[in-house]
Amino acid sequence: MRKNLRYLILLLVLLFVAVNEALIKSRSTSWENPLWVRIYAVNGDGRNATEKYIDSLTRNSFAAVEKFVNSEARRHGVLIDAIDVEYNGRLQSGPPELPAEQSVLGNIWWSLRFRAWAAHRAWNSDQDEGDVELFVTYYDIETTHSLRHSVGLEGGLIGIINAFADKSYRGSNQVVIAHELMHTLGASDKYAMDSIPQYPQGYAEPYLKPLYPQRRAEIMGGRIPLSAQQAIMPRSLAEVVVGIQTAAEINWPIDR
Ligand SMILES: [Zn+2]
């Protein structure tokens, strides 16, 4: 009996989450008003170097993300500024860490905890709440050499970005922020297991002749294909575009 009750409660929670997300999703991709994107910084390793780097962050540190999305949105037929990016400063504690091992149940549980954490944080804050909230967790490059993956929750309109606390990574951090932002709006990954972009949807210029080397990356393809087997990370959003399939997924008009 108690077991059934637990299932019922879990089902109701999931139903509530699903209905809520469907509502949010249709509102967030109508492109009638600019979407408010709010960025927060978190010190991921508690180190001084990381703290110092976070001290240096301003709205300007994320302006490239706004510029990129707005100019790509216009190119795809959105008539207004698609997004408005604001930096809301640092948080003393970050979102729940991603499970180290990937499992379906583990991921569902983590995503519910992340949603609960974000809702609780917004509830206790008197800052302007965003439509999309992105939490960028920084790590010192002295002690962190590879980052856990970043996640943007579709429908939840929240994302975690793991980033390097160093100026030399500013451009690539912005690429990851834009990628996860697109996920929150419903865009899907367009690369294979080995990080090689899928053809044609993961290519910036699928009709380029000759096809290789490509000059830019598609935002959800993630990398610039140099050949069918080799692709490199873009250094900044200047080397990235939003392709047609991604644009369609986030409800940009394309050529309707
Ligand atoms: Zn992705």
**Cα of 12 from ligand 1 centre, angstroms:** 29
- 157, pLDDT greater than 70: yes
Same domain, 55 and 95: yes
3-state secondary structure 111-176: HHHHHHHHHHHHHCCCCCCCCEEEEEEEECCCCCCCCCCCEEECCCCEEEEEEECCHHHHHHHHHH
Question: In whole angstroms, what is the distance from residue 46 CA to residue 90 CA?
Answer: 13
For residue 178, the enclosing domain spans 2-186
138 and 213 inside one domain: no
Same structural domain for residues 194 and 181?
no
Query: How many whole angstroms from 149 Cα to the centroid of ligand 1?
Result: 9
In a shared domain, residues 34 and 103: yes
Going from the Cα of 32 to the center of ligand 1, the distance in angstroms, rounded, reads 26
The whole-angstrom separation of Cα 234 and Cα 254 is: 24
- Residue 1 binned pLDDT confidence (cut-offs 50, 70, 90): low
Residues near ligand 1 ion, CB 5 Å cutoff: 189
Give the Å distance between the CA of 6 and the centre of ligand 1. 33
CA distance 186 to 28: 10
Q: 179 CA to middle of ligand 1, Å?
A: 6
More confident position, 226 or 7: 226
Q: Please return the burial class of 215, using the count of CB atoms within 10 Å of its CB with bins 0-12, 13-18 and 19+.
A: exposed
Inside any domain, residue 160:
yes
Q: How far is the CA of 10 from the centre of ligand 1 (A)?
A: 28
Q: Is 18 found in the same domain as 124? A: yes
Give pLDDT tens digits for 30-39. Answer: 899 999 999 9
Please indicate, yes or no, whether residues 19 and 146 belong to a single structural domain of this protein: yes
One domain for residues 236 and 134: no
- Domain of 45: which CATH number? 3.40.390
Lowest mean pLDDT among 7-11, 88-92, 139-143: 7-11
